[in-house]
Structure 1
């Protein structure tokens, strides 16, 4: 049984999570997340902890940002779009049991971004921003680091928020370069 309560978008996501692991969920009801749901998430965070596990799409990222802004210290689980896509539909409900378990085994916890040692220059040097293949490289790095795909500014914020170390970042860059060949 997973101690934390997993925050998902809807009933199909809950069904997929419960197929993969023994856990309880809070459903946001989509991207129109209301005050009542936020209050339940805050209580869950205080009592047991929370893992935010939303779809790897615009709506899922919007929900993740809303929760992060209002409920500090959440853990986050991420899927790539490829892992969460079936017949053109993107969502946690489309992921395999194994993929869901892997994502939950690799959760990241938010921290105060002031404590990070990753700088904007590191992203430039790694070709994650201001580079012709920056989006592809961020997708690869997001998968390797377990922080998901996002734009350059958000990627920078996530590296800092999840306290990615210089060593982790350097190792992930090396693996990314090897994968790109």
Structure 2
């Protein structure tokens, strides 16, 4: 699988994991202190080939994603579920721990970020769906994020991601139905 866009990852081990899974070029941020020269590289890559941000599913990875998105518009995003990013010992969370299959699946589900957010799904819809409050809200958001390819998010982040990635009401309803069916089984 050849990827046209440049994939932004956190470090060298992530680059190795990406290259095991797909034929792609990467830019490494070298941690969550994304410096100016890296941001300039990412801007140039976005102009010429496009960019996919593929960071770890943890706080530092989310911080890097936000820094880049704030500076470089129109990025695409790939999200790896936490279960696929856990090390064998379970003490490390990162893209470098994912299997080639998990990486390819995340890249197949890549989402484009839009500057003008969609207003198809309201906060009230999330509340009524049991995604904001209640005993099962966190696990529902996690499974919904996996199905939609937008990663795990708290209630506020979920609302923003649904809008930013223009998730349609139909996509949302289908994924939510799958989440509820999974709960019943």
TM-score bin (small chain):
over 0.9
1:113–1:157 Cα contact (<8 Å) kept: no
CA distance in 1 between counterparts of 2:162 and 2:183 reads 21
Match of 2:98 in 1: 95
1:44-86 CA distance string (max 9 Å, x none): 0011000000000110000011111111110000111110001
Structure 1 residues 132 and 113: alpha-carbon distance in aligned structure 2, compared to 1, 3 A threshold = farther
RMSD over aligned CA atoms reads: 0.9
1:16–1:93 Cα contact (<8 Å) kept: yes
Q: What's the TM-score, normalizing by structure 1? A: 0.98
Q: 1:110 aligns with which of 110, 113, 129?
A: 113
What SS does structure 2 have at the residue aligned with 1:3?
strand
CA distance in 1 between counterparts of 2:44 and 2:18 reads 21
Does the alignment pair 1:150 with 2:153?
Answer: yes
Match of 1:47 in 2: 48
Q: What's the TM-score, normalizing by structure 2? A: 0.95
Match of 1:130 in 2: 133
Give 1:10-25 correspondences, 5 Å limit.
10-25=11-26
CA distance in 2 between counterparts of 1:115 and 1:98 reads 31
1:73-116 CA distance string (max 9 Å, x none): 10000111110001121000000010001111110000134333
What SS does structure 2 have at the residue aligned with 1:150?
coil
Unaligned runs of 5+ in 1: none
1:116–1:165 Cα contact (<8 Å) kept: no
What SS does structure 1 have at the residue aligned with 2:32?
coil
CA distance in 2 between counterparts of 1:81 and 1:114 reads 26
Match of 2:77 in 1: 76
Q: How many residue pairs get matched?
A: 181
Unaligned runs of 5+ in 2: none
CA distance in 2 between counterparts of 1:13 and 1:84 reads 11
Query: Which 4+ stretches in 1 moved above 6 angstroms?
Result: none
CA distance in 2 between counterparts of 1:38 and 1:118 reads 32
2:117–2:165 Cα contact (<8 Å) kept: no
